[in-house]
Amino acid sequence: MKRISLTQYLVEEQRSHDSIPAELRLLIEVVARACKTISHAVGKGALGEVLGSAHSENVQGEVQKKLDILSNEILLEANEWGGHLAAMASEEMETIHQIPHRYPKGEYMLLFDPLDGSSNIDVNVSIGTIFSVLKAPDGMATPTEADFLQPGSKQVAAGYAVYGPQTVLVLTTGNGVNCFTLDREMGSWVLTQQQMQIPTETAEYAINASNARHWYPPVQRYISELEAGKTGPRGKDFNMRWIASMVADVHRILNRGGVFMYPADARDPSKPGRLRLMYEANPIAFIVEQAGGAATTGTERIMDLQPTQLHQRVPVFLGSKNEVELVTRYHQQA
């Protein structure tokens, strides 16, 4: 089998579609290299003394794990000096990160969730990194937080890595979705799946059902119909999976279909859902749509949302098109 590396893929994409300018190519390669470093740290586990709590909290009041902080630092350090970025933003940092004055600046802005699925770190279950790339407003050498508040439809690239039995990198630059597998011996990313497509039909769903009593009526209705199986209104049996790492659940859905939900619920109106728009919902929505799926808040397309805050949360329904459209219709009817 002829092996195509991430570098070769990016160069050839640039040649054939003119879609990946050199600076963006550098950015993607640097992020991919940082993911390699994170994968290595994750793989060491207890031997690398990287497990456990860092005894600190992030801006949303969540306890940070040592690996959350380490992954954040790896991404910041890797991306500071290349001259491709105007600024960065991270789920683990209260405000945006400016590029130090000693380095040149570029036209892109990078946003990331350094380590998604933190509750799985210490128990050796798949976790990952999610990233999103935006363009800085023209001529903006030092972007402000407001410059980051662009709708997901403005993303020029997005991707995620999963640190699991295999380490994979899934990437879109707006021309379909491709998957690269890390060759751990060679230290290189090898193209292993091209133009991934999410099956339109599915019999699998993912939701944290322990929150069922707090769900709003459209979600109650949709899930109870799935649960009713063959003898219910849907006329078929559905299976449920919940990994509690969005990246890992999404990777399953990209490969064999399914619908992933983290709805808003009746608990705390200041927290509509759990997932962050800028670091989780937007990049994953971009990938899912590029793979032929759909991603909504229940009422609107995620990538159409005008963000109002860097760390804002949104309800999320994404994956196989037919299911996302159905649950979205139930919201619109309600």
Least distance to Mn ion, CB of residue 118, Å: 7
Question: What whole-number distance in Å separates Cα of residue 86 and Cα of residue 104?
Answer: 9
In sign, the C-alpha dihedral spanning 315, 317, 288, 238 is: positive
Q: Select 25 or 274, whichever has its Cβ closest to ligand F6P.
A: 274
Asked whether position 208 contacts ligand F6P by CB under 6 A, the answer is yes
Task: Give the one entry of ligand F6P, Mn ion, none that residue 245 binds, where binding means its C-beta sits below a cut-off of 5 to 8 angstroms depending on kind.
Answer: ligand F6P
Question: What whole-number distance in Å separates Cα of residue 142 and Cα of residue 86?
Answer: 6
Q: Which stretch binds Mn ion (CB under 5 A): 55-63, 115-123, 169-177, 305-313?
A: 115-123
Asked whether position 212 contacts ligand F6P by CB under 6 A, the answer is no
The binding track of 108-147 with respect to ligand F6P, each residue x by CB under 6 A or -, is --------xxxx----------------------------
Asked whether position 107 contacts Mn ion by CB under 5 A, the answer is no
**Binding to Mn ion (CB under 5 A): which residues in 232-261?**
none
Contact yes or no for 320/330 (Cβ under 8 A): no
Asked whether position 116 contacts Mn ion by CB under 5 A, the answer is yes
Q: Select 125 or 203, whichever has its Cβ closest to ligand F6P.
A: 125
**Binding to ligand F6P (CB under 6 A): which residues in 296-325?**
none
Task: Give the one entry of ligand F6P, Mn ion, none that residue 299 binds, where binding means its C-beta sits below a cut-off of 5 to 8 angstroms depending on kind.
Answer: none
Q: For Mn ion, which residue of 68, 107, 113, 289 counts as binding (CB under 5 A)?
A: 113
Task: Give the one entry of ligand F6P, Mn ion, none that residue 204 binds, where binding means its C-beta sits below a cut-off of 5 to 8 angstroms depending on kind.
Answer: none
Question: What whole-number distance in Å separates Cα of residue 219 and Cα of residue 334?
Answer: 10
Q: For ligand F6P, which residue of 41, 93, 228, 244 counts as binding (CB under 6 A)?
A: 244
The binding track of 273-292 with respect to ligand F6P, each residue x by CB under 6 A or -, is -xx-----------------
Asked whether position 92 contacts Mn ion by CB under 5 A, the answer is no
Question: What whole-number distance in Å separates Cα of residue 29 and Cα of residue 51?
Answer: 27
Least distance to Mn ion, CB of residue 9, Å: 26
Count CB atoms within 10 A of the CB of residue 249.
24
For 141, phi then psi, to 5°, come to -80, -35
Question: What whole-number distance in Å separates Cα of residue 276 and Cα of residue 270?
Answer: 13
For residue 266, what are its two tokens?
Answer: 């009746």
Contact yes or no for 167/174 (Cβ under 8 A): no
Count residues near ligand F6P (CB under 6 A): 10
DSSP labels, 184-227 = TTTTEEEEEE-S----S--SEEE--GGGGGGB-HHHHHHHHHHH
Task: Give the one entry of Mn ion, ligand F6P, none that residue 218 binds, where binding means its C-beta sits below a cut-off of 5 to 8 angstroms depending on kind.
Answer: none
Q: How far is CA 230 from the centre of its chain?
A: 33
Least distance to ligand F6P, CB of residue 171, Å: 19
Least distance to ligand F6P, CB of residue 296, Å: 17
Least distance to ligand F6P, CB of residue 132, Å: 14
Contact yes or no for 116/166 (Cβ under 8 A): no
166: left (phi over 0), alpha (psi -120 to 50) or beta: beta
CA atoms within 13 A on the CB side of 83: 3
Question: What whole-number distance in Å separates Cα of residue 305 and Cα of residue 17?
Answer: 28
Q: Select 86 or 277, whichever has its Cβ closest to Mn ion.
A: 277
Which spans of this chain sit near ligand F6P (rule: CB under 6 A)?
Answer: 116-119, 208, 244-246, 274-275
Which spans of this chain sit near Mn ion (rule: CB under 5 A)?
Answer: 113, 116
